Structure 1
Amino acid sequence: MTQEKIDKKKFLPAEISTGQSEKISKPSLNYWQDAWLRVRKNKGALVSLIVLIVLTIMALVGPHLNGHDYKEQNIKHNNLPPRIPVLENVSWLPFDGELENKSGEVYDAYERKNVDEYYWFGTDSLGRDIFTRVWKGTQVSLYIALLAALIDMVIGVLYGAISGFVGGRTDNIMQRITEILVGIPNLVIVILMILVLDPGIWSITLALTITGWVGMARVVRAQVLKLKQQEYILAARTLGLSNTGIIGKHLIPNLAGVIIINTMFTIPNAIFFEAFLSFIGLGLQAPHASLGTLIDDGFKVLQLYPYQMIIPGIIISLIMICFNMIADGLRDALDPKMRD
């Protein structure tokens, strides 16, 4: 057998360059850049973010697309099914303007009522355009989402940070106040607001302002009690930094992940709370539109005109699912320990 000769150069020690030995090949990332890379890997969160952006754009421009006002009534055009140009010719899509009566007969509702217009999501019992009303209702839901986020990030964070950082008697008094507020159901507060104010968005806004921040305040307080014992807080106090500076420059930035995660989980609850109040008649009043009032109106005629309830139901479900999926993605990205 012939033996293969191995080049002796392969046994020489590797040449080490002192200039390259300390070089970091991977780029250095800060906390937020690293979190964004984790979010990008979460396909569900990214898709939910895109869907939420599309819904937000439609909520802003949707009421102005088809030329109908959300309060405009036309009894002659009542209870018309969805009908969309081009899509009306696709047989397997429910946008052809046809209805089925109790005897099973399928008929063209637009032709029977001599209507030449297109109602993309149909009309309700008063002839109001559901497409316009759905996007007006989406505006209300997004307003509630923004309101809940602001209340949590302003009132809840400040209240919890001050309570946990100051401690002592101040902490005891502030926590007794939160326990009182926790013991009062939100529905009772809304009813009290309705007795003082008219039913509507302002009553819901005040109710959320009174009690919507309590959960965030308790979470922030617990985190502050843990963080204020850390060495960097002692060092900042030794260097003469005021309590306000310590809270603003050290505690709140280190609590950013927890604050964002809890806020994102609070938003769907606030949206559902507003929709529930509107559904039972304690929210927005006619002629104003809310997804809750649209679902309530559609529920009354569900067997005859199911589209009147299904369409707003799909929109509010998408909004709540998207916020929950984004919250899950942010939780995994900002605080991976909370995944389990």
Structure 2
Amino acid sequence: MADKDMKLTRDMFEPVSVNTTKSEKIEKPSLNFWQDSWLRVRKNKAAIVSMVILVLIVLMAFIGPLMSPYEYDKQNASHSNLPPRVQGLEDISWLPFDGTLEKKDGTIVHPYEDRNIENYYWFGTDSLGRDLFARIWQGTQISLLIAVVAALLDMLIGVTFGAVSGYFGGRIDNLMQRIIEVLMGIPNLIIVVLMILVLPPGIIPIIIALSITGWVGMARVVRAQVLKLKEQEFVLAARTLGESTPKILFKHIIPNMFGVIIINTMFSIPNAIFFEAFLSFIGLGLPEKEASLGTLVEAGFRSMLAFPYQMIIPAIMISLTMVVFNMIADGLRDALDPKMRD
């Protein structure tokens, strides 16, 4: 009965008011490509820890030699082959910083007390009495310099070569790709060794030797990306509007490949560090007085059985630096490469 007695009024048919401002409001802030990529990198704990370690390594590479009271190239024959000793830790026997050495027969010797030396060498000294703490951080600085400069040269040459080859195509592409195939057919080690033998030893010749063929991989990756991007609508629109070829390449195409370029550059840095260490280890790298990580490992290898710390410490530094760069590159690849996104 109640439903039958209900009267329908005009007010019941009024449209419901909707606040269009609130309904269309975007609660989450919009992110550009790099902000979104950084959020993905932050989820990778290994990459973040590696970035922190890399910052510490770079800082110590520059301030480490200044922290030591000894110069990295100053010799003191009376302080040769001293083991690591750190203030406050020399009384803790289970730490390798108490200034003692263990011989092959198991006997413990105390070189500092035997020679009446009151100095402290945190990483010990080499066969010429030079402070290894200062030399290792100086060597880290030189190795990072060689690797970063060689990687940047590989990036510049490879990006330019690959972009030109992929964009123009045709005979130009065929000719440029044949040049790459010739360089890839020659073992990289042979080219680098020949360049080292022809050029005088030093930092610049090693950088040149590493860059002669190091750009080939970058060029191939960039060419493949350009072949895919040059048929996209934004490139065709720029070409229709009369944009010049250099502007299309460097203003429209290459900025869309920054992710791939950064990833390949980050992977090339540890490769350059390892190659420089290898050349120095076989005697074709820097002179020993330059104190790169490779020369320190080579010098420590000669006395590894008697004084293992002289090779172990620089070897750990090389391994740590390469692992850190590779972990950062993996994190950037997962964040920047669309094929690897979850």
Shift of the alpha carbon at 1:15? 7.7
Aligned to 1:218: 220
Shift of the alpha carbon at 1:339? 6.3
Aligned to 2:4: none
After TM superposition, the structure 1 = structure 2 runs for residues 166-205 of structure 1, keeping only pairs within 5 Å, are 166-205=168-207
Shift of the alpha carbon at 1:201? 2.2
What stretches of structure 1 move > 4 A for 4+ residues in a row? none
Shift of the alpha carbon at 1:118? 0.7
Distance in 1 (alpha carbons) for counterparts of 2:92 and 2:30:
53
Distance in 2 (alpha carbons) for counterparts of 1:89 and 1:220:
57
Aligned to 1:64: 66
Distance in 1 (alpha carbons) for counterparts of 2:197 and 2:84:
39
Q: Give the counterpart of 1:157 among 151, 156, 159.
A: 159
Contact preservation (8 Å) 2:166, 2:226: yes
Contact preservation (8 Å) 1:186, 1:207: no
For residue 308 of structure 1, what is the amino acid of its counterpart?
Q
SS at match of 1:198: coil
For residue 143 of structure 1, what is the amino acid of its counterpart?
L
Shift of the alpha carbon at 1:77? 0.8
TM-score (norm 2): 0.92
Contact preservation (8 Å) 1:39, 1:46: yes
Contact preservation (8 Å) 2:65, 2:71: yes
After TM superposition, the structure 1 = structure 2 runs for residues 1-340 of structure 1, keeping only pairs within 5 Å, are 16-338=18-340
Distance in 1 (alpha carbons) for counterparts of 2:39 and 2:196:
46
For residue 221 of structure 2, what is the amino acid of its counterpart?
V
SS at match of 2:222: helix
Distance in 1 (alpha carbons) for counterparts of 2:126 and 2:62:
22
Comparing 19-28 with 291-300, greater Cα deviation is found at 291-300
Distance in 1 (alpha carbons) for counterparts of 2:87 and 2:188:
45
Contact preservation (8 Å) 2:206, 2:276: yes
RMSD (CA atoms): 1.7
Gapped runs of 5+ residues in structure 1? 1-13
SS at match of 1:287: helix
Contact preservation (8 Å) 1:136, 1:289: yes
Distance in 1 (alpha carbons) for counterparts of 2:18 and 2:86:
70
Comparing 100-109 with 305-314, greater Cα deviation is found at 100-109
For residue 156 of structure 1, what is the amino acid of its counterpart?
G
Comparing 195-204 with 22-31, greater Cα deviation is found at 195-204
Distance in 2 (alpha carbons) for counterparts of 1:211 and 1:330:
24
Contact preservation (8 Å) 1:160, 1:221: yes
Quote the sequence identity (%).
67
SS at match of 1:240: coil
Comparing 322-331 with 55-64, greater Cα deviation is found at 55-64
Aligned residues: 328
Shift of the alpha carbon at 1:86? 1.6
Gapped runs of 5+ residues in structure 2? 1-15
SS at match of 2:101: strand
Distance in 1 (alpha carbons) for counterparts of 2:310 and 2:169:
53
Distance in 1 (alpha carbons) for counterparts of 2:90 and 2:338:
48
TM-score (norm 1): 0.92
For residue 134 of structure 2, what is the amino acid of its counterpart?
T
Aligned to 1:10: none
Contact preservation (8 Å) 2:288, 2:296: no
Shift of the alpha carbon at 1:272? 0.4
Shift of the alpha carbon at 1:148? 2.7
Contact preservation (8 Å) 2:83, 2:99: yes
Distance in 1 (alpha carbons) for counterparts of 2:341 and 2:99:
47
SS at match of 1:244: helix
Shift of the alpha carbon at 1:167? 1.0
SS at match of 2:181: helix
Q: Which structure has the bigger radius of gyration?
A: 2
Contact preservation (8 Å) 1:190, 1:203: no
For residue 212 of structure 1, what is the amino acid of its counterpart?
G
Contact preservation (8 Å) 1:77, 1:123: yes
